[in-house]
């Protein structure tokens, strides 16, 4: 495996179909751009279709890029998007679960879930389950779930109050959602392994300069421009762990890619370790069962 892996090492993606959530901006856009440049058919799955069309217009004239409406905060929208994709795509080679919200004030999804847990985890859980039949027949297909170093920050799975109805801590709620992303990726790989065709791999971008910081506390937003050069990296570099997880022939199911620098803030993309609690199989399986119950989506594996 290359120690200096860059987007130049992404192999040809011609003939492959990639569906990327939240791909109209930031990490999702940068990931989609590289995949399209390598010849993939790319679907930008986005909440705001008009912004998605504007993003699609930024791709080269030869790029095969379409826009799919997807609001991960609505299970109705998730099911509608899945139906649309089943009607238009013969297969999916890459499903990249990238979209997310971070540190908003307490809000609920249309289905009554806390916004961060409902969007970042449950929306992607349902979307993946509904599309998995388009991935399973495809040798070498992958599900890449984007996590965060925030899965280590005041994070645990609060089964007694998953929706933060008793009290709300935006930082801890984001930590729970990103920890859930990782646990989902690991448990999904355990269930996919017997099939031998599809791999589940996780990735995180370090601290990338994207629009995700817009809901951060005012103090953090004020300080960010001052300290950013010390521990952040561009969105393009933040996308590299995602691209490596999605395309490196040497990547394996169950791995976690992220920047190799101190703290995981920035650096070249490599296989990294997640927090000890993220590997707790009992919690992974309990979270899976709860997620199936909340979303009413049952996976064709397990």
- Residue 8 makes CB contacts below 8 A (sequence gap 6+) with none
Distance CA 10, CA 161 (A): 42
Task: Map tokens 């985890």 to a residue.
Answer: 121
Closest CA to 47 of 29, 21, 28: 21
Q: Which of 174, 186, 256, 257 is catalytic?
A: 174
Per the annotation, the verdict on 186 as an active-site residue is: no
Two tokens, residue 78:
């998730």
Closest CA to 208 of 23, 26, 24: 26
Side-chain-facing half-sphere of 257: CA atoms under 13 Å? 30
Q: How many residues does the chain have?
A: 302
Residue positions annotated with a catalytic role: 174
């Amino acid at each position: 495996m290359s120690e200096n892996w860059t987007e130049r090492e992404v192999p040809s993606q011609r003939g492959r179909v990639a569906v990327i959530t939240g791909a109209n901006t930031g990490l999702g856009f940068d990931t989609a751009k590289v995949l399209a440049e390598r010849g993939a058919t790319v679907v930008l799955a986005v909440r705001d279709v008009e912004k998605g069309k504007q993003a699609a217009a930024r791709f080269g004239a030869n790029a095969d890029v379409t826009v799919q409406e997807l609001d991960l905060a609505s299970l109705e929208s998730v099911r509608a998007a899945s139906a649309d994709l089943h009607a238009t795509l013969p297969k999916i080679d890459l499903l990249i679960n990238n979209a997310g919200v971070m540190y908003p004030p307490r809000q609920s999804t249309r289905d009554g879930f806390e916004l961060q847990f409902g969007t970042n985890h449950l929306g992607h859980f349902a979307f993946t389950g509904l599309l998995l039949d388009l991935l399973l027949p495809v040798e070498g297909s992958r599900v890449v779930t984007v996590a965060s170093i925030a899965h280590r920050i005041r994070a645990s799975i609060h089964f007694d109050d998953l929706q933060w109805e008793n009290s709300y801590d935006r930082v801890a709620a984001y930590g729970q959602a990103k920890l859930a992303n990782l646990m989902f990726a690991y448990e999904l790989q355990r269930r996919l392994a017997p099939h031998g065709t599809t791999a589940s791999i996780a990735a995180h971008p370090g601290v990338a300069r994207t629009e995700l910081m817009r809901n951060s506390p005012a103090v953090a937003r004020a300080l960010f421009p001052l300290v950013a050069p010390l521990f952040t990296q561009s969105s393009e570099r933040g996308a590299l762990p995602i691209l490596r997880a999605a395309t490196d022939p040497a990547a394996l199911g169950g791995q976690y890619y992220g920047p190799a620098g101190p703290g995981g803030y920035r650096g070249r993309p490599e296989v990294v370790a997640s927090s000890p609690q993220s590997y707790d199989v009992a919690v992974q399986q309990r979270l899976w069962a709860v997620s199936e119950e909340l979303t009413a989506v049952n996976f064709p594996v397990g």
